[in-house]
Chains A and B, each alone.
Chain A
Amino acid sequence: MTAPREVSFTVNGAAHTVRVEPRKTLADTIREDCGLTGTHLGCEHGVCGACTILLDGAPVRSCLMFAVQAEGAAIRTVEGLAEGDRLHPLQQAFIDRHALQCGFCTPGFLMLAAGVLEREPDIDEDGLREALASNLCRCTGYLNILDAVRDARAAMRAGPG
């Protein structure tokens, strides 16, 4: 029973069926079995947030779940944010506000912010700061990220233009 098992879920709307050992994390599975390497792994123990994805709409650490737990789930990763050439408001705001430098933490921050803003579109300033404290950035710092997410909050409230 420690042997590989078949698991099916969708990632960004596309169906995936993978064969994985129960001990394989969802993060490793997304990267290695689904071939989607936008989801990054920093600490692999739930502290840094680089691996944050949306699981049925909730921002979660994909390194703290096993892939076998994702049976039937709808997963969204950073690859699913843009619609074709049209960037998600968060992605555009990160560019406009210089909210990334090396970019390693960026996919995690984008998915964290996407999940938080979708769940709580009217989240207040304290709530936003508290939520963004979930992830680590080691070069840009946090103020530009906060600025970008504030912009995106306004853009997402206004709806697609």
Chain B
Amino acid sequence: MKPAPFTHHLPGTVDEAAALLAAHAAEDARILAGGQSLVPTMAFRLARPAHLIDINGISGLDGIAQNADSMSIGALARHCDFHRPVDDGPLGALLAAVVRHIGHYPIRMRGTFCGSLAHADPASEWCLVAAALDARLTARSVRGEREIAASAFFEWAMTTALAEDELLVRAALPRLAPDTRWGFHEFARRAGDFALAMALALYRVEDGAIVEPRVGLGGVEAFPRRIPEAEAVLAGKAPGPDLFREAGAAVSDAADAMADSHASAEYRSEIAAVMVERALADAAR
């Protein structure tokens, strides 16, 4: 199918984009960044926005900046910008490993980090990264800028805290301590498919015990989030296979798994446990 007619706007600045959003929000205006999720939904006519506000002409939005305590990712930073580690620490390596699971190579040439967050697919790898790392997300509108914590940003599948006149201008990920250990695992039926379950685990080890554990779960519930029950299992204990299995089981118990044509809730929940176990084991290597 072909997309329905729309008006194409090409603002030159973020202020212009915000003004266009404010003017047309009531008529279903959408931001067009990479378009790798939006355009297919338009082709199916699941989405029929009357206005597309194309931010690709705005300069300065494509940056990835290293700040003292965070990495700031602009609205036009594309998936492929993370193919090579963006820094020498664990965060750059983590993002470079995760990005290989996003769609396919040509999709990664166009799709954007912030666009994935705004789209909020339950199986989005970047949404899981944002949730697991407690990213801080900056929304802009004609009313000004506000910062939203990742834990408050994802509200449901394809639903975020962004108001209809707000655009996501950047995401900030916290810098990770150099000794941070991390692991990521996902299960998808085919290369590039949406994952049925994915897990991102991070922790540090002090005096043989796990400190600051983070266990993020994606693709299982309506939106990715940290699972505190699993983190409680890990905190203060010595890393090892039995502990990781216990943490996986805690995720399985805590998760309110989705059921769809691809997998039952029970199956998803079981895969979730294994993904968490494997992510933790990778972190321990």
Contact = CB atoms under 8 A, between A and B. Distances in A.
B35 interface: yes
A74 to B, nearest CB: 14
Which of B6, B39, B100, B192 has the most A CB atoms < 10 Å from its CB? B39
The 3 closest A-B pairs by CB, nearest first: A134-B104, A22-B8, A1-B7
B106 A61 contact: yes
Contacts of B107: 46, 61, 64, 134
Given A23-B2, A69-B54, A134-B104, A63 B191 contact: no
A2 B7 contact: yes
Contacts of B60: none
Interface string B79-111: 010000000000000000000100011110110
14 contacts: A23-B42, A24-B2, A25-B2, A25-B3, A45-B43, A49-B106, A58-B106, A58-B109, A61-B107, A63-B39, A63-B43, A64-B40, A66-B39, A134-B105
Interface size class of A (residues with CB under 8 A): 20 to 34
Interface in A56-81: 58-61, 63-66, 68-69
A130 interface: yes
A115 B191 CA distance: 20
B151 interface: no
B6 A2 contact: yes
B190 to A, nearest CB: 8
Contacts of A25: 2-3, 39
Contact of B39 (A2, A58, A65, A115): A65
B6 A46 contact: no
Contacts of B8: 1, 5, 22, 66, 68
Contacts of A69: 32, 35, 54, 56
A59 B109 contact: yes
Size band of the interface chain B makes with A = 20 to 34
Contact of B52 (A22, A112, A116, A135): A22
Contacts, number: 93
A4 B264 CA distance: 47
B36 interface: yes
Given A22-B52, A23-B5, A45 B40 contact: yes
A61 to B, nearest CB: 5
A56 B276 CA distance: 40
B33 to A, nearest CB: 11
Interface in B31-69: 32, 35-36, 39-40, 42-44, 52, 54, 56
A55 B78 CA distance: 15
A21 B106 contact: no
A56 B137 CA distance: 30
Contact of B106 (A5, A66, A134): A134
A119 to B, nearest CB: 9
Nearest to B43: A45
Contact of B7 (A22, A58, A135): A22
